[in-house]
Amino acid sequence: MEYAKEQADVEHRVVTTPPLSDVKLADAKTTANGVVLVPQPTDDPRDPLNWPQRKKYLILSILCLAGFASNVSALANQLALGTQAKVYHKTLVETSYAVSAAIAGVAAGPLLLVPLAQMFGKSSVIFWTLLATVGCGIWSALMTHRDQYNAFVVARLFSGLFGSVPTILGSGAIMDIFFLHERGLAFTTLAISFLLGTVAGPTFGGFVVQSSPWPIVFWWTVGLQALVAILVFCFLEETGFTRDSLRVYPVLPHSFIPNRIYTFFPGTRVVPRVSVSHVAWYAATPFLIGVSPVGFLICFYQFIFFGWFVMVNTLLAVFLQEPPKHGGYGFSPLQTAAFSFSLWFGVILAQVYGALINDRLPLWICRRRGGIWKPEYRLHCLWVPAVLVPTGLGIFGACVEHHYHYMVLAVGAFLLTFGAMLCVPVSINYVAECFTHHAQESSNIMALFRLSLGLAVPFFVDPWEAKVGVGWVFGMAAFFSILGSCLIALLVWKGEKIRKWSFKSVASDEGGARVTKGMAL
C-alpha cells in the first residue's frame, strides 16, 4: 500500500528540522514581510507547519469548539442553584459545591488523562473524552430526586474531569502547527473560547431554568457536545510529525475511512509506540515544570491573579440571588443571566484586544531590540490587566458591601472579566514557549494553579467575610492581584536568567532565535 511505502521511507530517512541557529539567515524561510519562520519547517508537505492556513484554522476552530462545549457543560447549572437547592433541600452555598466539583474536575482531569495522548494521540483522546462528557451530561440531567445530591456532585466532578482535556491538548496542537509569530492569535482564540464557555454556560442556564425544568440546562449541552464530537471525528487530524530520530510518527492512510479508524480507534497507530514508564514520565512532567522557577512564577501569578475571577464567577449567582435583607440583590435566574452579559462583553473585548496585540506587540519589541527573540516579550501584553483586575475587584467589593446599583456592580464585573481573560492566553503562550517540547504539560500544570484558588475560596469565604467584611474580601483580593503583577515584572526583568534554572530534562525555548531581518512587521 502507498502509505506503507511512505512509512518505510520515513523510518529510513528521518526528517530533521535544523535549529534556527544552524541556518544561515540568508537561507532562512520567512514570511512575505520578512518575519523569520520559527521553527523552520521541513520541505515535506506532510509537515504540519507546511499545511495550508485554511487547514490549520479549521483544526484550531474545532479545538475551540471542543473547549467551548466542554466548559459550557461544566458550569451549565450555576444559575440553577436556587431551583436545585429546593430539590435537594440544601442551602445555596451547599448547592454551589456541585459547581466547585466541576471546577475541581477541570483542574485535575488533565493530570490524569492528558498523558494518554502519548499512547493514543491527541485526536483520539479528545474524541473519547468528549463522548465521556456527553455521558456525564446525561447522568447529571437524570439526578432529579432529593436523595441524588451526592450522585449529582460526582457527575459534575467527572464532567469537569473529562471536559478539561480538549483545551490542554489544544495547546500542544498549536505548537505543532503554528509558527512563533502566529501563536499569540492562536492561543488567544483557543483560551478565549474555553473561557467563554465558563460564562456562556451560566447565561444560557439562567434563561433555560426561568421557564423550563432545570435538567434542560444539561440536555442542550449534551446535543452540542455530540455535534462537536462528530466534527472532531470528521475533520480533526493528528498534528505530530517526525522531526528527529527519537520519535518517528507513523504515516497514516490517505483515504478517509482507514484514516479515521487509525486515528480514533484503540491502538497506537498515529503516534510512536511508547512504554508505560514513558507515559508515567510525561505524567510527572507538569510537576517538574510547576516547581521550576520560571514555571512556578508564572503559575503562581495565575493562581493569585485569575483565581479571583473564578471566585466571582462561581459565587456570582449567590451574591445576586440572595434576598436584599441578606446582602444580595434578590435577582431571579433570568435577571442573573441578563446580568452575566457584562462578563460576555469582557470576554469578547479580550478576544479583540488579544487578536490585535498578542503577536504585534512582542514582535514590535523584538524588532526594536535587534530582532533577537526572548519569550519575555510576550509578557508586556500583561500590563493592561495589571490595572483592570484590581480595579474591577475593588468596584465589585464596594458594590457588594454598600449595595450600590447593580449597573455599577456590572462595571466591576466587566473590568475584572476583561483583565482576567487577557492574562490567560498570554501566560499559557509564555510558559509553552519556555518548555516548547512540553506545551500541553505546561498548560496542564498552569490550569491546576489557575483554578485552585477559585476552587478553594467557596469553602472559606464565609469565615473570611465574617472576619474582615465582604468589602475587604475583595479589597484584599485586589492587593493580592497587584502582587501577582509584581511577579510578571520580575520575569520581564530577569526571565532570561530564571529560565536557565529549569530542569534540563524539560527545558527548551526559542530564546536567541532571530525573528526579523529588519523589515517592517
Is residue 481 located within the same domain as residue 353?
yes
Write the CA distances from 15 to 9, 45, 242, 342, 416, integer angstroms: 10, 12, 6, 50, 47
**DSSP percent split of the chain into helix, strand, coil, nearest 5:** 75, 0, 25
Is residue 328 located within the same domain as residue 234?
no
Is residue 99 located within the same domain as residue 238?
yes
Range of lowest pLDDT (23-37, 104-118, 188-202): 23-37
Q: Could you tell me which of 489, 458, 464, 463 has the C-alpha nearest to residue 476?
A: 464
Dist CA 184 CA 431 (whole Å): 12
Tens of pLDDT, residues 74-105: 888 888 888 899 999 998 778 878 888 998 89
Q: Assess if residue 14 is contained within a domain.
A: no
Q: Assess if residue 76 is contained within a domain.
A: yes
Tens of pLDDT, residues 276-313: 999 999 999 999 999 999 999 999 999 989 989 988 88
Residue burial 421-446, b: 16+ Cβ < 10 Å; e: rest: bbbbbbbbbbbbbbbbebbbbbbbbb
C-alpha cell at 296: 512556578
User: SS3 for 458?
Assistant: helix
Is residue 208 located within the same domain as residue 137?
yes
Sign of the Cα pseudo-torsion (42, 44, 48, 54, in order): positive
Q: Residue 14's pLDDT is what? A: 46
Q: Residue 22 pLDDT > 70, yes or no? A: no
Mean pLDDT of 265-274: 82
CATH value at residue 243: 1.20.1250.20
Based on C-alpha coordinates, what's the Rg of the chain? Answer: 23
Is residue 237 located within the same domain as residue 283?
no
Percent of the chain with pLDDT over 90: 66
Q: Residue 521's pLDDT is what? A: 43
Range of lowest pLDDT (244-248, 373-377, 443-447): 244-248
Q: Residue 16's pLDDT is what? A: 46
Write the CA distances from 424 to 204, 236, 449, 450, integer angstroms: 23, 25, 12, 9
Mean pLDDT of 315-331: 83
HEC string of 256-299 equals HHHHHHHHHCCCCCCCCCCCHHHHHHHHHHHHHHHHCHHHHHHH
pLDDT tier for residue 268 given thresholds of 50, 70 and 90? low
Instruction: Identify whether the C-beta of residue 292 lies closer than 8 Å to the C-beta of residue 438.
Output: no
Q: Assess if residue 37 is contained within a domain.
A: no
Half-sphere exposure of 16 (CA within 13 A, CB side): 10
Tens of pLDDT, residues 491-520: 999 999 999 999 999 999 999 999 986 544
**For the chain, what is the domain count?**
2
Instruction: Identify whether the C-beta of residue 93 lies closer than 8 Å to the C-beta of residue 119.
Output: no
Q: Assess if residue 31 is contained within a domain.
A: no
Dist CA 284 CA 46 (whole Å): 31
Q: Residue 12's pLDDT is what? A: 44
Q: Which H or E element spans position 417?
A: helix 406-434
Which long-range contacts link 360-366 to residues 24+ away (Cβ below 8 Å)? 360/184, 360/521, 362/184, 363/35, 363/181, 363/515, 363/516, 363/521, 364/521, 366/515, 366/516
Mean pLDDT of 135-142: 95
Which residue has cell 512532567? 285
Dist CA 430 CA 301 (whole Å): 12
Percent of the chain with pLDDT over 70: 93
Task: Write down which residue in 257, 274, 291 finishes a domain.
Answer: 274
C-alpha cell at 514: 532571530
Q: Residue 378's pLDDT is what? A: 98
Is residue 419 located within the same domain as residue 330?
yes
Range of lowest pLDDT (92-106, 345-359, 413-427): 92-106
List, in sequence order, every residue forming a beta bridge with 35; answer none if it has no partner: 516
Which long-range contacts link 37-43 to residues 24+ away (Cβ below 8 Å)? 37/179, 38/179, 38/180, 38/181, 38/373, 38/510, 38/513, 38/515, 39/179, 39/180, 39/510, 41/17, 42/15, 42/16, 42/17, 42/243
CATH value at residue 358: 1.20.1250
pLDDT tier for residue 20 given thresholds of 50, 70 and 90? low
User: SS3 for 334?
Assistant: helix
Task: Write down which residue in 221, 246, 274 finishes a domain.
Answer: 274
DSSP designation for 379 = G
Is residue 169 located within the same domain as residue 280?
no
Whether residue 333 is preceded by a cis peptide bond, meaning omega within 30 degrees of 0, is no
Q: Residue 477's pLDDT is what? A: 94
Task: Tell which wins on pLDDT, 420 or 316.
Answer: 420
Task: Write down which residue in 232, 255, 274 finishes a domain.
Answer: 274
Mean pLDDT of 445-470: 85
Write the CA distances from 378 to 282, 289, 350, 433, integer angstroms: 26, 19, 16, 10
Length of the chain: 521
Q: Residue 175's pLDDT is what? A: 96
Q: Residue 519's pLDDT is what? A: 45
List, in sequence order, every residue forming a beta bridge with 287; answer none if it has no partner: none
Q: Assess if residue 12 is contained within a domain.
A: no
Dist CA 486 CA 482 (whole Å): 7
Q: Residue 495's pLDDT is what? A: 95
Task: Tell which wins on pLDDT, 5 or 398.
Answer: 398
User: SS3 for 516?
Assistant: strand
Is residue 334 located within the same domain as residue 410?
yes
Q: Could you tell me which of 299, 335, 318 has the C-alpha nearest to residue 450?
A: 299
| AA identity, residue 145 | H
Is residue 86 located within the same domain as residue 224?
yes
Mean pLDDT of 454-481: 87
Domain containing residue 173 = 44-274
Is residue 189 located within the same domain as residue 168?
yes
Instruction: Identify whether the C-beta of residue 347 lies closer than 8 Å to the C-beta of residue 421.
Output: yes
Is residue 459 located within the same domain as residue 341?
yes
**For all residues of the chain together, what is the average pLDDT?**
89
Is residue 268 located within the same domain as residue 377?
no
Q: Assess if residue 11 is contained within a domain.
A: no
Mean pLDDT of 366-388: 96
Q: Assess if residue 50 is contained within a domain.
A: yes
Q: Residue 245's pLDDT is what? A: 62
Half-sphere exposure of 468 (CA within 13 A, CB side): 12
Q: Assess if residue 116 is contained within a domain.
A: yes
Interhelix angle for 165-177 vs 439-468, to 10°?
140
Q: Residue 157 pLDDT > 80, yes or no? A: yes
